[in-house]
Chains A and B, each alone.
Chain A
């Protein structure tokens, strides 16, 4: 047996010093073949074993003495070293077939030393001190019984598994009364291998084997020994463990199916909810953007296409709550808009320029460069009833004749829908084309600077019906610039083309289309309501007269120059007098009791002295009627 070096040394020392013999209990089974020569072997005891710590057996061998092998040739004597007596006794029970001596419970004592002896018939004694023992030291329990195994679990990878081994203590060992306490050792190995795996010795009657490989067959057996003792009993019968497949796939498949169907069902449910509550969900997720709210303005007007009405509203005409424009019409407010004055054209049209310049100078009382932008405050004068059309009334004196026509056309108040929009487009288009001179708004230079004689028609008569007759004095120049303006105002003239042509045919007849302000409403009357007015003979408009009455009578036909003016109800008849000096126009200041327009004496002199007699009532383009007058007219 293996001994540590220290123990070997100790043994040597002990033996050498004390000449001791080794313990018989442990060396009882020493192989006699090693110690003695092969020639002579004395009869000896081979083994003494106790299984239950209550009885024990001893087996002997005759050795080389074959003549002693016959039963009864050798006798067994034992010595029980009890305190009172100590004498050799013969074996209580022989089993000669096995050469065995059996000691039953009556003859077995624990914690008492037994010595065994062999004697021949001749009293030859073969005795060895090594054959002395105590019973508890020779106990080798029987192997456990009822060995079985159960599958515990499987690894997630499905390659390994654990088993639980169960057994029962040997029935011969009285464990129940506590007389024997045993501990177990489990061993296993793969089938057809040589090395056994030994698990830890433990006292429970069950143990787990971990990490067995799937598909392999394992062999398991077990043995036991007395607690705190050395000698093990025999191994039990082997059992075989083999697991070929894991019965857990079904559950995983079922689980997967359940999860899949559950998810699909939930998704369908969510879809149904979303579809049924779509509107509410949309409102919840994407709340509607509130429409712009301007106090006093209906949001309908802010929609596309209704800009005219909106402008009307904003101008303060319709609603009381709009404080945008003060009711003071006569304040000087600069207007800034798109138009510029082109210098080149002014240079080209020298004649017109001279006239304009003269007119301007007369009007404004100042010598100004031709290319200057003259901002006329015209909004205030006519801002009351018509803010948009007042734009048209602002003219630049430096504008050439081409522009004059445009401006005159734009000046004249027309239908709100057509003309205003057309005005805007005309303004822009002309500006884009010529860069130019359609000056819709001009800044005020003074109360007198509003007017360009080219763009005003002199009211020569007022009809009892309320119509105003314009003098034909300023239409000559319009004639000349028909083509230029035609392009720009093509759009606007669509409606009035027929009337234009008719007017061209009626060239001989001056045609005045007079816009009659509808006293009832804020809109101007359409072209249909335009009345043909006739202008008095060119000589009629006399600057010196107090006022002129425009008769709505057909006058001398004018050429196609009128075409440009068709867009506006006011058509200035083509007469050279259109660009006549200031004297051709007057300002309608008031109405008398007979609904006659009272006009100021025209200022044909230099502009400076030509101040309007009524500063408050700033000069306004011909044809416009202040709300006061409007009210008077309607009465």
Chain B
């Protein structure tokens, strides 16, 4: 989420002052709008990952192999009942944790596209680049949102990604499938959050 779109007053020239400015101005932006924009951003992220899997062929995405994603250790609600019972702050924290966990792997992915066949490289590199952008925007937006939602939302579970210099092609597909699952999780959590915040406005949800 572009902060400029949220707060056109603040200029991102100096990061610290920009953050302060954003934080100061964010008080004027209602939370619902922030959540709405965050959910839109996560929607785009998940759509990109889906497109990637479609382009590269579903055969390249062994779901069973993704059992051991680096983010699997994170305890997240696995069904609707659980999702409805989790508080908004926890949901937001989970989303932010997941998002944070993927900033490094995406970097690795973007630099490792040369492993793939040439015809797939351009598509993969472009899509991964877009995903990085959206991920960054979403992260910034969620940071602002979490600042308004209490200390519980500020918690970010660290999910380290063990990086190797070179990753094989299997790693790439595994990472892509893991990323697709996690992007869906983030999107689902934020959608639930949005609908819960909308309350009397079902059309927003």
Contacts and interface: CB of A to CB of B under 8 A. Distances in A.
B76 A113 contact: no
A174 B83 CA distance: 13
B79 A110 contact: yes
B63 A136 contact: no
Contacts of B134: none
A179 B117 contact: no
Contact of A14 (B54, B60, B181, B192): B60
Contacts of B80: 53-54, 105, 174, 177, 179
A3 B67 CA distance: 26
A129 B64 contact: yes
Contact of A228 (B43, B72, B73, B185): B43
Given A83-B72, A134-B181, A136-B184, A113 B64 contact: yes
A229 B187 CA distance: 13
Contacts of A181: 43, 191
B50 interface: yes
A635 to B, nearest CB: 119
B116 A23 contact: no
Q: What secondary structure prevails in chain B residues at the interface with A?
A: helix
B64 A229 contact: no
A227 B43 contact: yes
Contacts of B72: 83
Contact of A179 (B46, B67, B78, B188): B188
Given A24-B63, A53-B80, A10 B181 contact: no
A10 to B, nearest CB: 5
B79 A132 contact: no
A178 B184 contact: no
A11 B57 contact: yes
Interface residues of A, number: 50
A176 B91 CA distance: 18
A136 B120 CA distance: 26
Contacts of B116: 10
Contact of A132 (B54, B63, B123): B63
B64 A83 contact: no
26 contacts: A3-B57, A7-B120, A8-B57, A9-B117, A10-B117, A10-B119, A20-B62, A23-B62, A81-B64, A83-B72, A105-B81, A108-B79, A110-B78, A111-B185, A113-B64, A115-B64, A174-B80, A177-B195, A178-B188, A178-B191, A179-B188, A181-B43, A227-B46, A227-B47, A229-B50, A230-B54
Interface of A: 3-11, 13-14, 17-18, 20-27, 53-54, 81, 83, 105, 108-113, 115, 129, 132-134, 136-137, 174-179, 181, 227-230
Interface of B: 43, 46-47, 49-50, 54-67, 72-73, 76, 78-81, 83-84, 116-117, 119-120, 123, 169-170, 173, 181, 184-185, 187-188, 191-196, 202, 205
